[in-house]
């Protein structure tokens, strides 16, 4: 396909922005702000419009093209946001900023009580928010064993938090 003129660009943007926004907002949920979603969507739309001549209608529909590119760019953006999160380092574990210094101190103490593999698992599961399948790949474990380890880690964290006077806290 050829380059598109300014009127076609506006029409394209208005037609496909909602789809891209839906995909991006679901991927950035819990990590990015509304402004991050808007920035990512605008970057995606700009990239598609600039490289519109690369789109091949014989290979897929424009809707699929926008969806795939939106998903890919949003996942990259999510990784970037997670790397740039304000965090506190504790024994090679990253603790997300909390509203309470007291709670952060307890989390630091609890994390220090974990062994190395539990700390790695904690980091992947609760800081980077990886799925069990991704954790399994990263730690070179089976997915089933990873699920068991995550369950055991949750139980251990709840027990340690109760020991420090924090009850009813979900991990």
Rounded Cα distance between 84 and 114, Å, is 25
Q: What is the per-residue pLDDT across 106-137, written as a single tens digit (0 to 9) for each?
A: 888 888 899 988 988 988 888 888 889 989 98
Both structure tokens of 160: 């340690």
Other Cβ atoms within 10 Å of 62 Cβ, number = 16
User: What are the residue ranges spanned by the domains of the chain?
Assistant: 6-83, 87-163
Query: Does position 142 have pLDDT exceeding 90, yes or no?
Result: yes
Rounded Cα distance between 45 and 62, Å, is 12
Q: What is the per-residue pLDDT across 16-59, written as a single tens digit (0 to 9) for each?
A: 899 999 999 988 887 778 888 899 999 999 888 888 888 888 88
Rounded Cα distance between 121 and 128, Å, is 10
Enter the CATH code of domain 87-163: 1.10.10.10
Would you tell me which CATH number, out of the four given (3.40.50.720, 3.40.630.30, 1.10.730.10, 1.10.1740.10), belongs to the domain 6-83?
A: 1.10.1740.10
Find residue 89's DSSP bridge partners: 94
């Amino acid at each position: 396909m050829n380059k598109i003129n300014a009127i076609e660009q506006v029409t394209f943007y208005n037609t496909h922005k909602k789809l891209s926004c839906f995909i991006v907002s679901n991927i950035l949920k819990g990590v990015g702000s509304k402004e991050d979603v808007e920035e990512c969507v605008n970057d995606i739309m700009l990239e598609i419009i600039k490289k519109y001549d690369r789109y091949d209608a014989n290979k897929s529909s424009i809707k699929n093209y926008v969806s795939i590119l939106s998903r890919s760019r949003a996942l990259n953006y999510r990784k970037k946001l997670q790397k740039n999160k304000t965090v506190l380092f504790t024994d090679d574990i990253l603790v997300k900023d909390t509203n309470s210094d007291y709670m952060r101190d307890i989390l630091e103490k609890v994390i220090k009580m974990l062994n190395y593999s539990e700390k790695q698992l904690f980091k992947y599961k609760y800081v980077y928010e990886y799925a069990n399948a991704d954790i399994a790949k990263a730690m070179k474990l089976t997915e089933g064993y990873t699920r068991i380890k995550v369950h055991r880690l949750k139980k251990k964290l709840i027990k340690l938090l109760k020991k420090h006077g924090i009850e009813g806290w979900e991990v």
